[in-house]
Amino acid sequence: MLESSVLYPVKIASSSQILYFCFMPQKIVITGGPGSGKTTLLQSLKHQGFHCMDEISRTLTLEARKNGVAHLFLSDPLAFSSLLLEKRKEQFVQAEKSNHDFVFMDRGIPDIEAYLNFKKQAHTFPFEAINKSNTYQNIFITPPWQEIYTTDNERYETFSEAQKIHLELEKVYRKLGYNPICIPLGTPLERTNFILQQLHIFQ
C-alpha cells in the first residue's frame, strides 16, 4: 500500500471546536534539461501504477506547427510562455483535485522562468506571486546525460545548451526555497526506485 498523503489540519468553527484532517495529494515535480531521461522516467512511474501528468510544451509546439509555426518558443518565446503558463496552472489545479496520494508532474510552473532565463528573454510575468500560490511538495531533477542525448523535431537544443538549461532550472527552484533532489543515472527502474525511496513510498 502507498504511504498516505500529506495531512493539512483545518479548523472547523463550531461549538465543539472540532479539528479534522483534509487529505491533499503530494504534488511532485520531475524536472531537468532536455534529453535527460525525464519523460522515460515518468513512463516508468506510470507503469508502476502512479498518477503522472505529462509535459505540455510538446503539445503546444505541435499545435503551433499545425498553424505554420515551426517552433513557437523560438519565434515568440513570450507568447509560448504565456500559453504554457496557463496550461501549467490548469494542470496544478487538476493535481490539487486528484484523489491520488501522489501526483508526479513532468515539469512545474518554475520551469517556464528557467527557460526564459536561458534565452535571456525579458518578461513581465509575475512569477514570484504565481509560485507562492502554486507550491509543490518535492522537486526531483534529472542531470544532463550525454550518452542518451538526442534531438528531434521538438527538441532543438544542443547538449551544451541542455546543460545550461539544467543550471537555470536548479537556480530558479533553489531561489524559490526548494531543494531539488538529483536523480542518479541508471535504468528507468533504478531511477524510479530512487525516487520512491526518497519519498518513503513502499509498495
The pLDDT tens digits for 73-122 are 888 999 999 999 999 999 999 999 999 999 999 999 999 999 999 999 99
Q: What is the pLDDT of residues 51-76, one digit of tens each?
A: 999 999 888 888 888 888 777 888 89
According to the model, what pLDDT value does residue 146 have? 92
Retrieve residue 4's grid coordinates: 498516505
pLDDT exceeds cutoff 60 at 129: yes
3-state secondary structure of 104: strand
Q: What is the pTM of this model?
A: 0.85
According to the model, what pLDDT value does residue 182 have? 98
The most distant pair of C-alpha atoms in the chain lies apart, rounded to whole Å, by 64
According to the model, what pLDDT value does residue 62 have? 80
According to the model, what pLDDT value does residue 203 have? 64
User: Exposed, middle or buried, 31 (CB in 10 Å: 0-12/13-18/19+)?
Assistant: buried
Q: 112-117 contacts: CB < 8 A, separation 24 or more?
A: 112/81, 112/84, 112/85, 112/88, 113/172, 114/165, 114/168, 114/169, 114/171, 114/172, 114/173, 115/73, 115/77, 115/81, 115/165, 115/168, 116/77, 116/81, 117/168, 117/171, 117/172
pLDDT exceeds cutoff 60 at 23: yes
